[in-house]
Structure 1
């Protein structure tokens, strides 16, 4: 099977995604010579997810923190490996999506119960996390694609021009979770993630409306 040199799905990445993607690249020539498939990596990550659930439920927070980063790394590897080995498929895409949905929803339910945070914060996380994903996928991104040009400003533009996306996403969420799991301030995992998703969603709508107004006024 011929490997694809152009496996990256886009030119810009979120910073932690960029680091792990560049790290993963070193393994691809070796993996390309093995029968290991991207779906195998996804299944391996599902098993890792179960181990992460067990670690957080049994209050082994340091282990859970490490396994979260393993999850993030493998989540980046499977999609990029699929493009590298020309093995992209609808099954693989759906498997990866289901894996992420189950992991990020169930992990934070278990974490909330484990650290004994008030149940309202668990529910708020579940609502905000899923609402953010649905809104970005079904409203914001489709409207951006209708624009002839999308202008970013300030720090977002500077970083974008240097290949880095600035915003809240699962990678940033994983980094915050990993760091705070090593501290006595585990409740702040929920507080910070909820606040950042809300702020980012509001800014993305502002940014979208700004660009739509620019295009409308250009006619």
Structure 2
């Protein structure tokens, strides 16, 4: 088994190797090439230790944001995101995945992503509607895609992709929003302090992706006569 196959996320619907574009840049071109192997082979660091450290950096980022150190907040959030990628990759590489680690990682992610929007509202008086919109869209997408769309597609004999998503998937890339793209947009909102613009943009991307995937599910159900 090669390294790419070993590090592949098990929850992906596609059997073949595929990445979100932003994920490929961070995980494959940077972390996998320059960070993972030295960390795994030359240290005794455990995945849960990385997850806890990621949570600390996320907390420090939100503290910095609350105190209007926007650029520092962006840098700290970027470190959090790198660590958030590293913990799962390290767990798969060392075969140390666990339910506790998965739960801990989910808790840190939920608090870090939702906390970024809430702290921005508290510190910069961002429009409450934009905050509600992005949090609603993000969590609605997470629930419906993971609990309904993906589960339903897994029950079908064949799954087809359509349009621009098929074009990218045929080339090994998943078109949509993932935690890496979300983190990049959050970091840009911190650094530029254009919170309202980026929060509406994130929410719209989530809703568009949810609509696209819902249509895709509907077409696959018709193709499979379900």
Does TM-score exceed 0.5, indicating one fold?
A: yes
Is the 1:173–1:193 Cα contact (8 Å) retained in structure 2?
yes
* Aligned position for 1:29: 37
Distance 1:182 1:102, change over 3 A: closer
Question: What does residue range 197-208 of structure 1 map to in structure 2 within 5 Å?
Answer: 197-208=206-217
SS of 2:194 mapped into structure 1: coil
The number of residue pairs the alignment matches comes to: 215
User: Could you state the TM-score of these two structures normalised by the residue count of structure 1?
Assistant: 0.90
* Aligned position for 2:21: 15
Is the 2:116–2:186 Cα contact (8 Å) retained in structure 1?
no
Runs of 4+ in 1 over 4 A off after TM superposition: none
Is the 1:4–1:85 Cα contact (8 Å) retained in structure 2?
no
How far is the alpha carbon of 1:182 from its aligned partner? 3.2
Distance 1:97 1:184, change over 3 A: closer
Distance 1:28 1:117, change over 3 A: closer
User: Could you state the TM-score of these two structures normalised by the residue count of structure 2?
Assistant: 0.88
Unaligned runs of 5+ in 2: 10-16
- RMSD of the TM alignment (CA)? 1.9
Partners of 1:144 and 1:102 in 2: CA distance: 29
Unaligned runs of 5+ in 1: none
How far is the alpha carbon of 1:124 from its aligned partner? 2.4
How far is the alpha carbon of 1:104 from its aligned partner? 0.9
Question: What does residue range 1-219 of structure 1 map to in structure 2 within 5 Å?
Answer: 5=3, 6-10=5-9, 11-22=17-28, 23-25=30-32, 26-32=34-40, 33-183=42-192, 185-216=194-225
